[in-house]
Structure 1
Amino acid sequence: MVNWYKTWNNPLKNVLWWLVIIGMLGSLPLAYMRHQTETSTKNVEFVFDYRDLLDISDVQTNPQSFVAQQLKNMKAAGIGSMAVYESTLGEFKESRHIELYNSRDAAALTQTFGDPNENFTYVLFKDSATQQKLEPLIQKTFADLNVGIKPWSFKNRNGLIIQMSLDDASIKGMDPDPITLQMLKEQGFQIVVRLSNRRPFVTNEMDKFLKQLHDIGVKRIIVDGNEVPGYTEEDTEVSLNKMADLLNKNGIGLAAIELLKEPQKGFNTLAKQTNYNVVRLHSFTEKDGEKLMEPLKKAELEDRIQGVADRFVLAVKDRNIRMVFLNAKPLKSLDKGKLVDPLSAFYESLQGKDGAIPRIEKAGFTLGLAQTFDVHTTGWQKVASAFMLIGGLSIIVLMISFFIPEATLVFFVLGLIGLVGLHTLSANLYAQALALASAISAPSIAIMLAIRTVRSGAAAKWKSGLAFALWTLIKTSVISLLGVVYEVALLNHITYSLVLQQFRGVGALHLLPIAIAGVYLLFFSENNTYSDKIMNIRRILTSFISVLWIVVAGIGLAAIFYYLSRTGNEGQASTVEKLFRSFLENTLGVRPRTKEFLVAHPLFVLGAYLSLRYRHAVYLIFIGVIGQLSIVDTFAHLHTPLHISLIRISYGIVFGAIIGLVLIAAWEIITRSWKRWVPKLSK
């Protein structure tokens, strides 16, 4: 029995490598399908919040003239769309369509003594044309709320009395302002509607409303609030399906706002039912705009404007953003002694020196109506699934075999049974688990193979240290890329590109390969028995701990903390580093990762070069695991186009190799100088 097991187990490791390669080749068509999908539309739409424009105009001397001029400026700057909200009486007032009064103010206006027990809302229309368009809207809104309403007039101007307090009535939502919609349409703006779930969902009413939006050319809505229209605590699926049917009927899609603290309730269901008629939206908030209104020197302001332009370019080019939403608000500046707004800074960031829009167009994008990705599929998907399962499992078992080679066959069989069962239980969980495990295994294997090459003495057979160093970097990076193929192919659904679904557990990718390679280096890289390995572990665990060890451990923990603080979307960077990143981005078009080309890859190359002469140089090779896991982690950003990630890691490898060669040259100069001058100084 033992001989039979060894007969199958011993050659299995070589077979697993072939299965990994075959699985990779079978998965490549899926990666290509994703590339076709994410490059299927190049339209980018800049949208400004019209309500914010009204807020800014409300503090101007000539509000309506200000709005008219700013609309022309926005059009010239490349802002082709305006976002309008469900209207309120307060917004009608800001638009100068109506005047609002409470009961006390109305009594003062009419010079009468009002009823002290009355707190109603009094509305006066600008003129009869405005009344004709807005009165039916207001009447219906408050009738639906069972609020009494009656006619009122003052000095030949018609109005309404709404039996609700002014504070309450002025925030009740109704359909978007038809006067504003018509004006914006006539000026050539595309309309994007902010739609909330604050009003009761009535199918017929929503159908009529969406038909009106369709008739004026609305192609997309942005959800306003934490719930999509139609979301309810009860019968959610039924009402969302109805809402999706109405959106499909009227050819209206959605915009997914990136980096929300919490997902909007019901959004994923609505997106799925509309066949993912969704584009990603980047929001430039009012708080962001405040940074452009601070009291700054001219050079500082120019730097911030340039930063805004860089931000827009990165959003479009690196994150598949197809809609950029601009917000602004007025601010009192005590330093300048006046009210300020960020509009002129916006225009400069879009069309000024190194402005965002010319750079976006230079990158191959076009200003226009944001369109959803054309999802490319292939009949190869089902066949590729089998390749991915076997190949992904093989790379995981290969990683385990570095520690327990005798159990390779056992782990392969158990893993196969487990993965098939997990796929039956949850296809999504299976895909994420296998992708994550493959992504962790590939860079771990890559570094462990490099360490084994040195420990086994194979590195010493190379005549050229430079050739060995460069070849080892290339070979190690290629092995890491095996995990990338499985990661991309397993998670090729459109929901990942739109970030409607997150790749869970990526945090483990930042640490586990380091831990795995570290354990291998310390306990398993020597060709010794399990008894020897256990003795080494015991020796380390029972060793005397000196102050130096504690200091080293503290430095190591600080390094890990710093590494984690810079990892992921929440990673922190200094001002100087941000400027350096901006320089790299603007110079190269795609910025390589700093930890790859400045730290990990150069030290890996130096370590590989020195390992031909120094046994402990293998610890420098170990540091290179950070660069290898970073290669895989780069592709874990599933919203980033594949070609951008490929360019990024290519730059990292090339520049890392060059800096590594510089380190080698510096080492040779220092060591040769040391050998030459130290003996002379000691005489």
Structure 2
Amino acid sequence: MKERYARWNKLAIKGLWWLVILGMLASLPVAYERHQTEQNSGRKVDVVFDYRDLLEISDSQPDPRSFIDQQLKLLKQHGVRSLSVYEATLNELKLSRRIEVFSSHEATALTQTPISPNENFTYILLTEKESEQRVREMIEKSFGQLNVQVRPWSYKNQPGLIIQMGLEESLMQTLDPDFLTMQKLKEQGFSLVVRLSNRRPFQTNPMDKLLGDLQRLGVKWIIVDGDSVPGFVSAEDTVNLDKMGEMLREHQIGLAAIEMQKTPQKGFNGLAKRIHHQVVRLHSFTESDSTKLTESLTEEELNGRIQGVADRLVLAVKDRNIRMLFLNARAVKSADKGKIVNPLDAMYQALDGPDGALPRIEKAGYTFGTAQSFQLVHSGWQTVAKLLLWIGAVALIALMVSYFAAELTLVVFLLGMLGSAGLFVLSSSIFSQALALGAGTSASSLAIMFALRAAKRKRENPTGSRIGFSVLLLVRTSLISVIGILFIVGLLNQITYALVLEQFRGVSILHLAPIVIAGLYWLLFLEPISHRERLLRTRELLSKHISILWVITAAVIAAAGFYYLSRTGNEGTTTGVERYFRSFLENTLGVRPRIKEFLFAHPLFILGAYLSFKYRNALILILIGVIGQASVVDTFAHLHTPLVISSIRIVYGLAFGTLIGFALIAVWEIIVRSWRRWVSRINAS
């Protein structure tokens, strides 16, 4: 029985490679269709400014309406084609100069008429004749839905209303959007993006009428305002969500997904699914971001920050499939300047000034206008391709295990197929992500283990060109890592990942696991010894006395690992100097290679392969190269980045890493030869 299993196991190792190859071939047309989705649709970018912010800034100006008219012209001149309008509030109507709002105490002082000491109402004067009727209807309708009484009031023949609700609370209430303002902005040539909240009771007929009115104004996109989408009640109660989705489809209005939110908006994914993912990604330049442009800065510092804003907007579009740039601004008090300042002029420079964002985005192949969602290219045969990818991914994981325990390869493959099938029944999303994570980790681990074996054989038979061997080894190692890329791209080719409605979890594992696996292999499995001997070596290592040097080394490695992991994923941290360097690379090359690849991992790999002809410990440098291989695979785990951008990034990393590796070799040779001359002179004297 053992002999039969051993024979089958030996055949399985060869057969599994063929399954991996089939999976790779199946991934290629899948990747091509993803590329078509990214390149042939959704190439329009919308630059949107928050109109409410403009109203708030105007409140600090001596002539608010003239200021708004002037800024609207400037916004259009500097490339802003759309304005975002919220559901109205009493405060926004006040900023628009349509009403004046008073508390009971303020109304008493104004009218010189005693008011009951028990009264705490809100008094409103309708100050604009052309909007008087519309504003009255908005207020009466919205507060009537809250069962709050509204009655007429006037002061010196100026009409008004009394809302039987305290001033602070009434200012918080949400009204219908201000259609008078929206119509005016539309006439001035702006497209409109509307922010809707879930703050008001959801009623089908009023919502359907509202969406119909928005459609007639040409509104194509809604940005959710608040922590839940209109119609969301709970994860279990989805009746209103179903209705909201149906109405959005009927009125051909989609959703904008705000990237990098700390807390996902409740019900967003469900509503996105109900409208067949008619969704675009939105990058928000927040009020807090804008205040950094109003601080007391030198001209050089201000220009640096403006450049940083431009770089940020360009990267959002090129690297993260952003199709809506949402700009906010805030007026702030400047003690140094002795006045209230705003960031608008600096933002205009960032948009279309010298080296501004908009010309660079256009140069990258995008156009400006109303944003468009992706037109998904997804053929029916992808189901068969996913089946081959499933089998190939399990085979790849089993082959990685074979480097540690070859006799278990067949068992691991069969158990992997069984376990993954159970995972698919449990959750298809977890199934795909687990296989992609396993395949990606296995590929980069196999790549570096192959490199260690090749370098070890070369040390035993040091023939041929050392530089040629180094370059060829890096290329072959990287090609093995590409296997993992193909499986990640093939298994996770879904629109939800491109829109980041669903995220590929475990990116940190994808970085760390190959380091641990390759390190374990180098430590215990690189030499052809028995499992018993490995066990003895492990015991010997564990029983060694711990020195202070070991403790310091472990602390340094732990700190380096923490720093390494802190920089991974979408929320990785970077230093100011590194951000400047990244910006320089991006602006110079168009696509920024990863620093840890071309400045660290790949050059050390090249140097290690070069030195492996003579030095056994040079394998440690090749081992460090696993960081670069994990990074190569991880680059494609950022599923919202276009495939073209990721591919260019990898090629740049390998090219520049090789050149820097050559420089390290040259420095090594200079040092060694200088040392030898110095030693020979000492010996001669």
Q: Do both share a fold (TM > 0.5)?
A: yes
**Could you tell me whether the CA contact under 8 Å between 2:602 and 2:628 is conserved in 1?**
yes
How far apart, in 2, do the equivalents of 1:459 and 1:438 lie? 31
Q: Cα 1:521–1:373, aligned 2, differ >3 Å: closer, same or farther?
A: same
1:14 aligns with 14
* Aligned-partner SS, 1:227: coil
**Could you tell me whether the CA contact under 8 Å between 2:192 and 2:218 is conserved in 1?**
yes
* Aligned-partner SS, 2:222: strand
**Could you tell me whether the CA contact under 8 Å between 1:43 and 1:371 is conserved in 2?**
yes
1:98 aligns with 99
How far apart, in 2, do the equivalents of 1:99 and 1:280 lie? 38
Q: Deviations for 1:306-351, whole angstroms, at most 9, x for unmatched residues?
A: 0000000000000000001111111000001100011111100001
Matches within 5 A, 1:529-608: 529-608=530-609
2:297 aligns with 296
**Could you tell me whether the CA contact under 8 Å between 1:453 and 1:459 is conserved in 2?**
no
Q: Cα 1:571–1:426, aligned 2, differ >3 Å: closer, same or farther?
A: closer
* Aligned-partner SS, 2:176: coil
* Aligned-partner SS, 2:541: helix
How far apart, in 1, do the equivalents of 2:643 and 2:460 lie? 34
- Aligned-pair distance for 1:181? 0.6
Letter in 2 for 1:325: F
1:37 aligns with 37
How far apart, in 2, do the equivalents of 1:91 and 1:154 lie? 22
**Could you tell me whether the CA contact under 8 Å between 1:455 and 1:526 is conserved in 2?**
no
Moved more, 300-309 or 382-391: 382-391
Matches within 5 A, 1:406-555: 406-457=407-458, 460-555=461-556
1:663 aligns with 664
Letter in 2 for 1:657: T
User: Which ranges in structure 1 are unaligned for 5 or more consecutive residues?
Assistant: none
How far apart, in 1, do the equivalents of 2:223 and 2:439 lie? 37
Count how many residue pairs are aligned between Structure 1 and Structure 2.
683
1:334 aligns with 335
- Aligned-pair distance for 1:170? 2.1
**Could you tell me whether the CA contact under 8 Å between 1:459 and 1:611 is conserved in 2?**
no
* Aligned-partner SS, 1:38: helix
Moved more, 460-469 or 592-601: 460-469
How far apart, in 2, do the equivalents of 1:581 and 1:563 lie? 17
- Aligned-pair distance for 1:422? 1.8
How far apart, in 2, do the equivalents of 1:481 and 1:333 lie? 53
How far apart, in 1, do the equivalents of 2:28 and 2:116 lie? 78
Q: TM-score, normalised by structure 2?
A: 0.98
How far apart, in 2, do the equivalents of 1:570 and 1:427 lie? 26
- Aligned-pair distance for 1:41? 1.6
Q: Deviations for 1:535-579, whole angstroms, at most 9, x for unmatched residues?
A: 211111112222222222222222222222222233222222211
- Aligned-pair distance for 1:9? 1.1
How far apart, in 2, do the equivalents of 1:585 and 1:128 lie? 54
- Aligned-pair distance for 1:233? 3.3
* Aligned-partner SS, 1:586: helix
User: Does residue 358 of structure 1 match 2:359?
Assistant: yes
Q: Cα 1:372–1:616, aligned 2, differ >3 Å: closer, same or farther?
A: same
Q: Deviations for 1:592-645, whole angstroms, at most 9, x for unmatched residues?
A: 000000000000000001111111111110000000000001111111111100
**Could you tell me whether the CA contact under 8 Å between 2:386 and 2:490 is conserved in 1?**
no
**Could you tell me whether the CA contact under 8 Å between 2:235 and 2:267 is conserved in 1?**
no
Moved more, 291-300 or 454-463: 454-463
Matches within 5 A, 1:24-173: 24-39=24-39, 40-173=41-174
**Could you tell me whether the CA contact under 8 Å between 2:87 and 2:175 is conserved in 1?**
yes
Matches within 5 A, 1:266-415: 266-415=267-416
Letter in 2 for 1:20: V
**Could you tell me whether the CA contact under 8 Å between 1:435 and 1:486 is conserved in 2?**
yes
**Could you tell me whether the CA contact under 8 Å between 1:279 and 1:323 is conserved in 2?**
yes
- Aligned-pair distance for 1:411? 1.1
Q: Deviations for 1:440-472, whole angstroms, at most 9, x for unmatched residues?
A: 000000000111122344773541111110000
**Could you tell me whether the CA contact under 8 Å between 2:24 and 2:389 is conserved in 1?**
yes
Q: TM-score, normalised by structure 1?
A: 0.98
RMSD: 1.3
**Could you tell me whether the CA contact under 8 Å between 1:454 and 1:460 is conserved in 2?**
no
**Could you tell me whether the CA contact under 8 Å between 2:507 and 2:568 is conserved in 1?**
no
Letter in 2 for 1:3: E
How far apart, in 2, do the equivalents of 1:110 and 1:552 lie? 79
User: Which ranges in structure 2 are unaligned for 5 or more consecutive residues?
Assistant: none
Moved more, 137-146 or 450-459: 450-459
**Could you tell me whether the CA contact under 8 Å between 1:127 and 1:157 is conserved in 2?**
no
Letter in 1 for 2:108: A
* Aligned-partner SS, 1:511: helix
Letter in 2 for 1:15: G
**Could you tell me whether the CA contact under 8 Å between 1:459 and 1:468 is conserved in 2?**
no
Q: Deviations for 1:451-499, whole angstroms, at most 9, x for unmatched residues?
A: 1122344773541111110000000000001000100111110000000
**Could you tell me whether the CA contact under 8 Å between 2:38 and 2:374 is conserved in 1?**
yes
Q: Deviations for 1:626-671, whole angstroms, at most 9, x for unmatched residues?
A: 0000000111111111110000011000100111011111111111
Moved more, 103-112 or 198-207: 103-112
Moved more, 95-104 or 237-246: 95-104
Letter in 2 for 1:589: G
What percent identity do the matched residue pairs reach?
57
Q: Deviations for 1:191-235, whole angstroms, at most 9, x for unmatched residues?
A: 111100000000011001110101111111000000100011386
**Could you tell me whether the CA contact under 8 Å between 1:309 and 1:355 is conserved in 2?**
yes
* Aligned-partner SS, 2:667: helix
User: Does residue 636 of structure 1 match 2:634?
Assistant: no
**Could you tell me whether the CA contact under 8 Å between 1:470 and 1:657 is conserved in 2?**
yes
Moved more, 382-391 or 161-170: 161-170
**Could you tell me whether the CA contact under 8 Å between 2:459 and 2:615 is conserved in 1?**
no
How far apart, in 1, do the equivalents of 2:280 and 2:565 lie? 31
Q: Cα 1:72–1:430, aligned 2, differ >3 Å: closer, same or farther?
A: same
How far apart, in 2, do the equivalents of 1:460 and 1:620 lie? 19
- Aligned-pair distance for 1:45? 0.6
1:678 aligns with 679
* Aligned-partner SS, 1:191: strand
* Aligned-partner SS, 2:330: coil
